[in-house]
Each structure stands twice: as structure tokens, then as C-alpha cells.
A and B are shown apart, each in its own frame.
Chain A
């Protein structure tokens, strides 16, 4: 399937009904191309989390269309049947906190995803180790999450998001718990991996340090997005 990134058109999400209905997203349009990293910023309650959940196929939009590469995910009430498999195989997640599984070592935390998709254990672990090498945590492959530093944990979490080579990665404030040096390192890694794997990356953030690194930024306020060019500093 040819990589085309993620595209949403006129996406709306309404919570509740009747007098208590609340429109969290209003005709949102967005496109992130393969290999591109965009920022999604906005104040609390602006609809960032709702948009991220819709993009992550965790909640269904009320209306609008969403496509991932050539696959239509949502189209005005219609949706693909197996969203769980879609999340497993085609969407990568990186969270604010790494949320690694505490009883699995770093390798198996990453290899678990391809294993869930039916990949043989050895092959899944080999793919995890490849990513560790790219992310420079190969020496911590057998460490348990509790033995990893915050930066190492976040890199393992990024590897988990990338291991199935998804067309899109959704990163929810991935630099929030990190100091500025480590935060910049994480953004650099996301940019590198996005280019290398032709993955579209959407980074939700409040972090003033990393906002100048995006070439494109989507601002969201009261459920409405508008796009603007970013500074794109530091990754050329």
C-alpha cells in the first residue's frame, strides 16, 4: 500500500445529545504526509485529546472522513470493522509517560506488538533490537523498565510506537517529563524515524522548547483547527 499519510476531512465529534450536547470537534481538516512531523497545540479543553482519540481510532467521530494511506477508516458514520487490529498494526502511540509494561523487559515491551500481530517471537525481538540500535538503547535491551532512566524509557516507548512500522504515530506530550536536552533528543529521534520509515507523526504538546522545531503546526481552540507554518528549526 502506497504511503500517503493520514488525512481527515470535516471531522466532528459531539458528546451527549439534546440540550446537553457538546461539540468537541467542529469540521476539522488535517493532513500529515509520510515522513512529516507536525505539532498539535492548544490550551486545555480545546479538543486536543478528543482529536487524538479520533485519530487513534479510540473513539468514533460523529461525522467526517478519515483515511490512513489509501484505507478509509471513518466516513460519515461508517467505520472499519476491526479498530483494535487497526490500532495494533497501523497506528503507533507514544504517551506522555512511557507506560511500559513493568513485568516485561525493554525488548519484550517493544516486541509484544508484532507478537500480538502474529509475528514469531524471534523475529519480533530482532525487529525490536534493530530499533534499539537506531535509538541508541541497544545496551539496555534486557533491562526492566524500573531499571531504565526516564530518557531511556521514553526511547523504548518510541521504539514500541514504531515497531510495527505504522503509517502514523500519535505522540501525546512525549517530552513533558523530560528536561530540555532530552526533550530535544526525543523530537530529533521522532524526526529521524519519521523520515526513515516514512511515517506521519503528530505531536500533541504544550512544550515551548519543542514547538519551534515543527515545520507545520495545527492550532486547536474550541474544537476548531487552523494550520500555520512553523519555524522548523534544528532538523535540517
Chain B
């Protein structure tokens, strides 16, 4: 038996191909949207992977350091380091800000890393060019996504940093490239006030008789010194000794140091379940709308193609063609249209993904699910046309 659907498609291939391309662009956008979501999740996981931490110790009752602000004393890491099961503990600061690059600026996450070098939690695990930070001030390692090259100068607050190393795929959960600088510089960048604000604060402190006591001449200097220096970080990153379970180490830290501790799974839950939850819902809504639009396009085209063939369908029924042969013809056409659209969409998404400013991750699972969804949409979309075709009276052929 010849394939009626195949012959009709070959006969009207232009209509199918051009509609398939249109549908494919829509499917391409849909796959890309799914890729944007996967990219956001992957960015979050990469952020956690690159931190090199097994535990994140943050301010009590906060979701820091990525989803909420968190502030802990910068000498706390010593106490944590002494806890059983802790192999390494290091301070870290995170600050998302505009970083100056020549005449322009770029959105970046500035990471303050504690002294020590590669291997210490918080440090970039590997570079694609240049070297790690070796000086205590004014050197930076930046992600290539920031558009910088070795030797470029970045302006963070009022200080300038020379880029000495480059990383790849070191990004925040929002996809912003990371810029690593020494911890002290990062603390200053995060908490430093401008000169006028410092002067005004000094005047207010001097005017306060509680701090400016003639009988205690060093008190005022001590208070002002404490106001202008910062002794806080956003989190302490902890790496465990082999053989210790995360909760086994986290529980004593929570109990004795009155801090909140997250392990990897909990931190992933915060990043994926809370930080990007709204974006994920937004993307989900887009996916639903795009699926409906795709379904409407397929349904309209298949319905139109069927209506164009009403007389032929009547003749086919009159000469004894089974209803299921006619339904199968319409269904196959819808599926072929969906398949053309999907192939075009997949190619479009694959070539368009690298052009997006944020990371777009196209995973095979999404591709497979997308194909299934497209086929399901095509089946549903053909229902109306099939119903119309099955209702055609063979007597119409006689007149």
C-alpha cells in the first residue's frame, strides 16, 4: 500500500517545508528557553563546584552567601578549622557589582579569596591563561566571559587591579563572570565608604562624649579605627577530611558557634529551588505559551490542508478507503510537520545557543522530551482535522 501522507507531502513539499521552518524557529526558541533554564541550574552547580567547599558556614538564619547577604567575623575560620573533621576553612566574600573595564563596565561577581593559593576553598581551581594571584593587593583573576585579557586593568571601587590570570565557566548563579581578588581588597571593596562619609562619621564620633573622653585619650582613636576597618566576610568555606559526613561536621558548628551551615545538597536546593525559582517559573510560562502557539500553528495548517482535500477525502471514502487510512494520513502529515519543525528547531537552538550572553545548556534529555512534546502536540493538533475528515459524507463526491 502506498503512503498517501508521504505522497501528499512530496506533492506539496514547499508548504510543508516552509511551515516546518516557521514552526522550527518556534521550537528552536522553546529549546533555547529550556537551555537557558538548564544553563542557570548549571551556573549554580558550577559556582558550588568551583568554590571547592563541602560546607558553607554563614550568618545564623540566613540563606547566604549567594541567595541572601551574610556577614560573619573574619577570625571565625580559626574556630571552624579546629572543629573535628575539618580539613580546610577559608574566608570568602562575594559581591556582585559593576566592574570598570577601560571606558566600559561589566557586571561581575567579585570574589575575595583568602591568602593561601590554589587548593584553598574559594580559589579558582584552574586557569586557562596566566597565573594565580601571588600578591596581597591589586591583582585579579577574571573569567574570560568578562571580556578581559591578561594585563587588562579592572577598576573595582576606587582601586585598580591588573588581570594576571583567566578562567573559563567561573560564573555566579546569575551567569555573571567572576573576578577573584585578594580578600582584604574585597572586604574593603564591599564595606569601604567614600572619603566624605568617613569624615562625617569621624566628626559625629568626636562629638559623642561617650567616645571622646579626655580621661581616656586612646578611646576615640580605637573607636574610629574600628569604624574604618572591616573585619567581616560573607562566609567561611569548609573542606572536610576524608571519611567525615557533612552533617557530622556541620552539627557541632551549628551548636557551638551559633552559625548556619549548609552542605552541598542544601546549597543546591537554595540556588535551584529559591534563587532561580522565579526565573524558572517565568521560563516555564514561556514554554507553555510557545507550546500552545506551536500547537495552534500545526492544528491550523493540518486543518487547512485537510479542508483543501475534502472532495478528495469524500472520493476516497466513496471508493472504500477505511476511516483509519484517512485518519492515519492526516496524523502522519502532522507528525512529519512536527519532525521537520523539530529538526529545524534543534539546529537553530544548537547554533544560536553560543550567541546568547548567558550560558545556554542544551541537554539530550531536554531534546528527547522536546521531541516527545512536539509529537504529542502534533497528535493533539491533528485531532480536529481528523474529526472533520471522518465526518465527510462520501455522498459529497456524487453531488
Contacts and interface: CB of A to CB of B under 8 A. Distances in A.
Given A96-B399, A115-B2, A101 B312 contact: yes
A102 B320 contact: no
Contacts of B4: 101, 103-104
Interface stretch (A51-59, A148-156, A179-187): A51-59
Interface string B382-399: 000000000000110111
B339 interface: no
A160 B319 contact: yes
Interface string B1-12: 110100110111
By secondary structure, the A interface counts as helix
A88 B315 CA distance: 11
Contact of B320 (A88, A101, A104): A88
A58 B395 contact: yes
A41 to B, nearest CB: 16
A108 B318 contact: no
A58 B315 CA distance: 11
Nearest to B9: A103
Interface residues of A, number: 31
Nearest to A160: B319
B325 interface: yes
Contact of A104 (B2, B319, B394): B2
Interface of A: 49, 52-53, 56, 58-59, 84-89, 93, 95-96, 99, 101-104, 108, 111-113, 115-117, 121, 144, 160, 172
18 contacts: A53-B398, A56-B398, A58-B394, A58-B398, A86-B320, A87-B320, A95-B315, A95-B398, A101-B312, A103-B8, A103-B12, A113-B319, A115-B1, A116-B320, A116-B325, A121-B2, A144-B11, A160-B319
Given A93-B398, A113-B319, A116-B320, 15 more contacts: A53-B395, A58-B318, A84-B317, A84-B322, A93-B318, A95-B399, A96-B399, A101-B312, A103-B7, A112-B319, A116-B319, A116-B321, A144-B11, A160-B319, A172-B398
Interface of B: 1-2, 4, 7-8, 10-12, 311-312, 315-322, 325, 394-395, 397-399
